[in-house]
Structure 1
Amino acid sequence: MTENRKPEIEVARCTGCGRCVAACPGRLLTLEVVAYRKHAVLVKPRECDGCLACLTACPVRAIY
């Protein structure tokens, strides 16, 4: 991820654990429920600076 790149979340792989949400310094991620399943969502992509905190916090590598 570079300065211009934003994290992409692979919904099928995301377990909804919330570690990326907790790791994001700007609180730009949240968990959403779709069809009774939680997954992470980047809610403020314009404010994301690409710090990689969410990527390194994800235990299942659902963020790239």
Structure 2
Amino acid sequence: IEEYLPQQMTEEELETALKAIIAETGATSAKDMGKVMGIATKQLAGKAEGKAISAKVKELLA
């Protein structure tokens, strides 16, 4: 079944994509997490798990 699923991003690819989204939104702190998550979940749908996105956004905005 895994061969039919979309390929998941590596942690490095995820971090690069999220840094770009953070820069695009101007997010600077954890208060801006909702703004980043809204865009990230749409752009990265099928490429990364929601938990992984959330954890990395928290890490980058900390």
**Normalising TM by the smaller chain, what interval?**
under 0.3
TM-score, with structure 1 as normaliser: 0.27
TM-score, with structure 2 as normaliser: 0.28
* Higher alpha-carbon Rg: 2
Q: Which is helix-richer, 1 or 2?
A: 2
